[in-house]
């Protein structure tokens, strides 16, 4: 754009010099930075701070795989210098191990540590990584169980479980649609407010889980900052997309609700999959029923904005898949014991999406009401929001042990 | 949700309840992965049986417990001491005669800070006597006058506190022989009583100075002339006699290192280097007797022990007697600074040449490095 302006201008020579000069000014700070870095490395002016203290060491175990060859750990280095793993203990005994790639683990670099350890099914093991300075980093395997591998049989059975906790309840919730169609304005406000209450619960739940995963991830990812920033970014991006044309209502709003709930269910699936990987392979009947009951309201929430429209049946199927399907995906990914920062990131994006839906549903509620914001304080809205939160809280008691 | 994970796991009975769909799913998953059979195969030390599971895999004999050892080798040259050489490296001092005709032994010992490799790839900031851990194995004869010239080149005050009989001024404790950095002290006393003793730094805090490596063996051989009733035994113990040369004598210090300074040891060993005699077995000639001067200088753990495989030994607690204090045992325990002499041989027909294990019989110590082998041979090649 600047270029075009310059060409049209008569004082071509003078104006051409201006961008060149500004370009030069752009280079200057980089030159100073490079010179400062070079001086730091070459002259070591901070040598006076070297008080003989050993380097700060840090290692994070991101993945744990147990199979017939023993156990394998994915380790990420996070020290002030490259880390050297000198020896590996399992249950207070030194074991031969192989490191791939061998050699020092650079800051933010990763390596696999394989130990031919005869682990015992269902029992706990404790791995201690000893570095060249003698510092130790412990990693607990609370219950040893072979890490699920992605065979078609395993994927299918996990998909079935995912359908039970994700897709089925949403579908059941959507089946209330015909019964709710005749709802009057009071009932409509109540249902939309119940959706807000429910989403509020999910927002808290999702952020809490994201922060838990973040705490388990390598410090250099700055877990909590990553969660909050990713959630904010997801929120803003989804807001921008949803407000491109006009404020979403009806089917569009239902789709956003389904997306937010879907991302939440992805997180739920990740946690169940992680439970598989960590040894809780047998989920109890009670737990799965709890999840099903807990998630039924999600279907009602999706149905609420489209009660006044008549979408085709295929749309209902798509909404159920969008909201429930990610649970299947989550279980698959979670059971393969992926690094916690990925789970934290996925959950953070889910939190942002849920926040966006809360804003949009609240906007829809105020639009429907003459009194705008004051309309949020009416009996049906308060009753709806209250019962949404209460229902989620009470049914969550079934799944939190 | 991750919060229910551990509790889920602890409620195994509850989980066993099963479910129409999920229990089926879980069982399928387990079978497909060939998980159910695995622990048994592990327990049988036989590796993995491809026929039994879904995932093909080559049998892994490393999982058959043979892989339980530290990885790699220690650079003895960089350390400046070799645990195998240390077994027989006695420091008898410089011998001269006093005007009254008694023998005077003068030892020179320095304290120095030194980073040593205590297990392959693991460096430990040690405090040493003469640059080694354990310190030099001092050896004298009952009745000798001993003069130990001690120079402290370390960064902290140190001392040499001998387990023996001496004057208060020579005790090597604060205000009686603790030496400031850069200074010097001469400990002087008579070598008595005969036995297997030790010395260690007694500067404070004691635990830190000991576990950093400041200890060593101090053997006083009996004088056969003073022990007419057991002159033969005394002569066999007296370093340098032909009778003594028949014996294969070994100096062993059981020690351990707390590398992360949490008050618990990460590495256990006999003569400092974890697994050193497992990787390089100690050669022993079958028809010659073995005598071990064993001391325990393990810090943080109340006791240590010595167990010999496939054989029994006689034990002389503290070595101050010429008849065994324990006969025909294959295990002894020692608290810190306890020590003794172990005597045995592989000469009888029950013992064929081969590898005979020895280790602490606290499994944890064994598995954290305190394990070794005697390589019994017909003749040293």
DSSP string, A144-190: --PPP---HHHHHHHHHHHIIIIIHHHHHHHTTHHHHTT--HHHHHH
Q: Tell me the pLDDT tens digit for each residue of A340-352.
A: 888 888 888 888 8
Q: Which residues contact A247 (CB under 8 A, 6 or more apart)?
A: A360, A363, A364, A367
From the candidate CATH numbers 2.60.40.420, 3.90.1300.10, 3.40.630.10, 3.30.700.30, the one assigned to the domain spanning B76-377? 2.60.40.420
Please state, in angstroms and rounded to a whole number, the distance separating the CA atoms of residues A281 and B5.
10
H helices of chain B, where?
Answer: 4-10, 12-15, 22-33, 38-43, 76-79, 83-86, 206-211, 231-237, 242-246, 276-279, 363-367
Q: Give A317→chain B minimum CA distance, Å.
A: 22
For residues B338-343, give the mean pLDDT. Answer: 98
**CB proximity B14 to A under 8 Å:** yes
pLDDT at A29 over 90: no
pLDDT at B94 over 70: yes
For residues B165-173, give the mean pLDDT. Answer: 95
Determine if residue B38 is labeled as part of a ligand binding site: no
* Nearest CA-CA partner of B179 in B204, B151, B199, B200: B151
H helices of B87-222, where?
Answer: 206-211
> Does A279 sit within 8 Å of B1, measured CB to CB?
no
Edge-to-edge strand list for the sheet holding B331-335? B282-285, B371-377, B354-359, B303-308, B331-335
Tokens in use for A172? Answer: 């059941």
> Does A288 sit within 8 Å of B29, measured CB to CB?
no
Among A376-390, B12-26, B117-131, which stretch is predicted with the lowest mean pLDDT? Answer: B12-26
Supply the mean pLDDT for chain A.
84
> Does A96 sit within 8 Å of B67, measured CB to CB?
yes
pLDDT at B208 over 90: yes
> Is-cis flag, bond preceding A101, omega within 30?
yes
**CB proximity B379 to A under 8 Å:** no
For residues B220-226, give the mean pLDDT. Answer: 96
Q: Tell me the pLDDT tens digit for each residue of A288-339.
A: 777 778 788 888 888 888 888 888 889 899 999 999 999 999 888 887 767 8
- State the complex-level ipTM: 0.76
Higher pLDDT, B147 or A393: B147
Please state, in angstroms and rounded to a whole number, the distance separating the CA atoms of residues B164 and B194.
9
Residue B132, SS3 per DSSP: strand
Tokens in use for B365? Answer: 């110590």
Q: What residues of A are in contact with residue B266 (Cβ under 8 Å)?
A: 89, 128, 130, 134, 136
- CB-CB neighbours of A156 under 10 Å: 13
Nearest to B5 among A133, A158, A280 (CB): A280
> Does B55 sit within 8 Å of A68, measured CB to CB?
yes
> Does B33 sit within 8 Å of A118, measured CB to CB?
no
Determine if residue B158 is labeled as part of a ligand binding site: yes
- CB-CB neighbours of B27 under 10 Å: 15
For residues A4-30, give the mean pLDDT. Answer: 65
Tokens in use for A180? Answer: 């709710």
Tokens in use for A312? Answer: 């085709």
pLDDT at B109 over 90: yes
For residues B41-50, give the mean pLDDT. Answer: 35
This prediction's pTM: 0.78
Structure confidence at residue A248 (pLDDT): 72
Q: Give A84→chain B minimum CA distance, Å.
A: 8
Burial A340-371 (b: 16+ CB within 10 A, else e): bbebbbbbbbbbbbbbbbbbbbbbbbbeebee
Please state, in angstroms and rounded to a whole number, the distance separating the CA atoms of residues B154 and A294.
68
For residues B280-308, give the mean pLDDT. Answer: 96
Query: Do A117 and B63 form a contact (C-beta atoms < 8 A)?
Result: yes
Burial B232-270 (b: 16+ CB within 10 A, else e): ebbbbbbeeeebbeebbbbbbbbbbbbbbeeeebbbbbb
Supply the mean pLDDT for chain B.
85
Q: How far is CA A145 from the centre of its chain?
A: 25
Structure confidence at residue A18 (pLDDT): 67
Determine if residue B214 is labeled as part of a ligand binding site: yes
Structure confidence at residue A370 (pLDDT): 65
pLDDT at B135 over 80: yes
Structure confidence at residue B13 (pLDDT): 32
For residues B228-235, give the mean pLDDT. Answer: 95
Structure confidence at residue A310 (pLDDT): 83
Q: Tell me the pLDDT tens digit for each residue of B307-330.
A: 999 999 999 999 999 999 999 999
Query: Do A367 and A179 form a contact (C-beta atoms < 8 A)?
Result: no
**Domain boundary assignment for chain B:** 76-377
Split at pLDDT 50, 70, 90, the class of A280 is low
**CB proximity B60 to A under 8 Å:** yes
* Nearest CA-CA partner of B187 in B213, B218, B154, B210: B218
Structure confidence at residue A122 (pLDDT): 85
Q: Give A253→chain B minimum CA distance, Å.
A: 28
Q: What residues of B are in contact with residue A162 (Cβ under 8 Å)?
A: none
Q: Which residues are B348's β-sheet partners?
A: none
pLDDT at B10 over 50: no
What residue of B is the nearest CA neighbor of A288? B22
Structure confidence at residue B64 (pLDDT): 44
For residues A40-67, give the mean pLDDT. Answer: 83
Structure confidence at residue A371 (pLDDT): 62
Structure confidence at residue A278 (pLDDT): 67
Nearest to A401 among B4, B65, B71 (CB): B4
What residue of B is the nearest CA neighbor of A130? B122
**Domain boundary assignment for chain A:** 2-49, 59-141, 152-399
φ, ψ dihedrals at B142, nearest 5°:
-45, 130
Split at pLDDT 50, 70, 90, the class of B183 is very high
**CB proximity B300 to A under 8 Å:** no
For residues B47-59, give the mean pLDDT. Answer: 36
Please state, in angstroms and rounded to a whole number, the distance separating the CA atoms of residues B62 and B151.
49
Please state, in angstroms and rounded to a whole number, the distance separating the CA atoms of residues A124 and A141.
6
Write down the residue that tokens 């070595």 correspond to: B319
Residue A317, SS3 per DSSP: helix
CATH of domain A59-141: 2.60.40
Q: Tell me the pLDDT tens digit for each residue of B234-290.
A: 999 999 999 999 999 999 999 999 999 999 999 999 999 999 999 999 999 999 999
For residues A97-120, give the mean pLDDT. Answer: 92
Query: Do B115 and B123 form a contact (C-beta atoms < 8 A)?
Result: yes
Nearest to B19 among A69, A120, A288 (CB): A288
> Is-cis flag, bond preceding B134, omega within 30?
yes
For residues A175-188, give the mean pLDDT. Answer: 84
**CB proximity B95 to A under 8 Å:** no
* Nearest CA-CA partner of B293 in B250, B263, B349: B250
Please state, in angstroms and rounded to a whole number, the distance separating the CA atoms of residues A343 and A330.
9
Q: What residues of A are in contact with residue B7 (Cβ under 8 Å)?
A: 401
φ, ψ dihedrals at A96, nearest 5°:
-65, 145
**CB proximity B347 to A under 8 Å:** no
For residues A362-368, give the mean pLDDT. Answer: 79
Query: Do A162 and A328 form a contact (C-beta atoms < 8 A)?
Result: yes
Q: Tell me the pLDDT tens digit for each residue of A228-254.
A: 999 999 899 988 887 877 777 788 888
pLDDT at B60 over 60: no
For chain A, give the longest Cα–Cα distance: 84
Nearest to B62 among A96, A143, A287 (CB): A96
Structure confidence at residue B32 (pLDDT): 30
Structure confidence at residue A372 (pLDDT): 63
Q: How far is CA A232 from the centre of its chain?
A: 12
Please state, in angstroms and rounded to a whole number, the distance separating the CA atoms of residues B216 and B296.
10
What residue of B is the nearest CA neighbor of A147? B33
Q: What residues of A are in contact with residue B33 (Cβ under 8 Å)?
A: 146, 148-149, 151, 154
* Nearest CA-CA partner of A399 in A196, A165, A211: A165
Name the pairing type of β-strands B215-221 and B137-141: parallel
Query: Do B27 and A108 form a contact (C-beta atoms < 8 A)?
Result: no
Determine if residue B361 is labeled as part of a ligand binding site: yes
């Amino acid at each position: 754009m600047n270029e075009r302006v310059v060409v049209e201008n008569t004082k071509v020579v003078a104006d051409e010099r201006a961008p060149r000069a500004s370009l030069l000014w752009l280079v200057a700070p980089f030159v100073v930075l490079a010179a400062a870095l070079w001086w730091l490395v070459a002259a070591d002016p901070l040598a006076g701070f070297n008080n003989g203290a050993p380097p700060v060491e840090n290692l994070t175990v991101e993945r744990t795989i147990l199979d017939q060859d023993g156990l394998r750990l994915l380790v990420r280095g996070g020290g002030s210098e490259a880390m050297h793993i000198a020896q590996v203990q399992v249950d207070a005994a030194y074991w031969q191990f192989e490191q791939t790639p061998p050699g020092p683990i650079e800051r933010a670099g990763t390596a696999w540590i394989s130990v031919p350890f005869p682990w015992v099914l269902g029992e706990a093991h404790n791995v201690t990584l000893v570095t060249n300075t003698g510092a130790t980093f412990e990693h607990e395997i609370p219950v040893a169980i072979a890490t699920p591998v992605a065979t078609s049989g395993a994927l299918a059975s996990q998909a079935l479980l995912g359908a039970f906790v994700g897709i089925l309840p949403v579908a059941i919730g959507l089946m209330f649609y015909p019964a709710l169609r005749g709802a009057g304005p009071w009932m409509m406000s109540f249902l939309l407010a119940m959706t807000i209450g429910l989403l509020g619960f999910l927002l808290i739940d999702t952020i809490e889980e994201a922060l838990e995963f973040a705490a388990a991830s390598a410090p250099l990812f700055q877990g909590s900052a990553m969660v909050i920033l990713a959630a904010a970014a997801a929120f803003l991006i989804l807001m921008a997309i949803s407000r491109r044309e006009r404020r979403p209502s009806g089917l569009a709003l239902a789709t956003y609700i389904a997306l937010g709930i879907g991302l939440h269910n992805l997180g739920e699936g990740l946690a169940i999959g992680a439970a598989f990987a960590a040894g809780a392979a047998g989920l109890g009947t009670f737990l799965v029923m709890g999840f099903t009951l807990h998630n039924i309201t999600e279907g009602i929430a999706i149905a609420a904005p489209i009660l006044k429209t008549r979408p085709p049946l295929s749309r209902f199927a798509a909404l159920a898949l969008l909201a429930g399907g990610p649970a299947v995906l989550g279980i698959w990914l979670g059971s393969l014991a992926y690094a916690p920062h990925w789970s934290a990131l996925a959950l953070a994006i889910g939190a942002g999406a849920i926040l966006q839906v809360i804003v949009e549903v609240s906007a829809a509620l105020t639009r429907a009401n003459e009194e705008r914001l004051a309309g949020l304080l009416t009996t049906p809205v308060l009753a709806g929001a209250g019962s949404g939160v209460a229902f989620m809280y009470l049914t969550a008691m079934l799944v939190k042990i | 949700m991750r919060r229910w994970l551990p509790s889920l796991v602890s409620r195994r009975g509850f989980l066993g309840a099963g479910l129409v769909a999920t229990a089926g799913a879980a069982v399928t998953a387990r079978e497909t992965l060939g998980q159910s059979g695995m622990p048994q195969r592990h327990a049988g030390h036989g590796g993995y049986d491809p026929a039994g599971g879904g995932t093909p895999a080559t049998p892994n004999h490393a999982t058959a417990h043979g892989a339980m050892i530290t990885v790699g080798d220690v650079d003895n040259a960089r350390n400046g001491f070799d645990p195998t050489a240390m077994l027989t490296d006695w420091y008898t001092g410089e011998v001269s005669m006093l005007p009254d005709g008694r023998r005077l032994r003068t030892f020179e010992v320095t304290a120095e800070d030194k980073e040593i490799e205590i297990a392959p790839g693991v460096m430990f900031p040690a405090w040493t006597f003469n640059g080694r851990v354990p310190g030099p194995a001092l050896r004298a004869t009952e009745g000798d006058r001993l003069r130990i010239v001690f120079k402290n080149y370390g960064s902290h005050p140190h001392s040499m506190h001998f387990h023996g009989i001496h004057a208060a001024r020579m005790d090597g404790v604060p205000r009686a022989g603790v030496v400031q950095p850069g200074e010097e002290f001469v400990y002087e006393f008579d070598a008595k009583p005969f036995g297997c003793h030790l010395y260690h730094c007694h500067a404070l805090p004691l635990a830190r100075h000991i576990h950093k490596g400041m200890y060593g063996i101090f053997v006083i051989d009996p004088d056969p002339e003073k022990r007419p009733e057991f002159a033969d035994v005394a002569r066999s113990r007296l370093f340098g006699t032909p009778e003594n040369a028949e014996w294969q004598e070994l100096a062993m210090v059981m020690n351990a290192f707390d590398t992360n300074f949490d008050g618990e040891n990460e590495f256990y060993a006999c003569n400092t280097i974890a697994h050193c005699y497992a990787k390089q077995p100690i050669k022993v000639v079958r028809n010659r007797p073995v005598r071990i001067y064993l001391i325990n200088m393990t810090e943080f753990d109340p006791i240590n022990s010595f167990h010999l495989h496939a054989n029994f030994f006689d034990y002389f607690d503290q070595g101050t007697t010429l008849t065994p204090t324990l006969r025909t045992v294959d295990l002894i325990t020692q608290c810190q600074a306890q020590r003794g002499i172990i005597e045995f041989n592989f000469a009888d027909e029950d013992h064929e040449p081969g590898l005979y294990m020895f280790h602490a019989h606290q499994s944890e110590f064994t598995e954290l490095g305190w394990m070794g082998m005697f390589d019994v041979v017909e003749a040293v090649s």
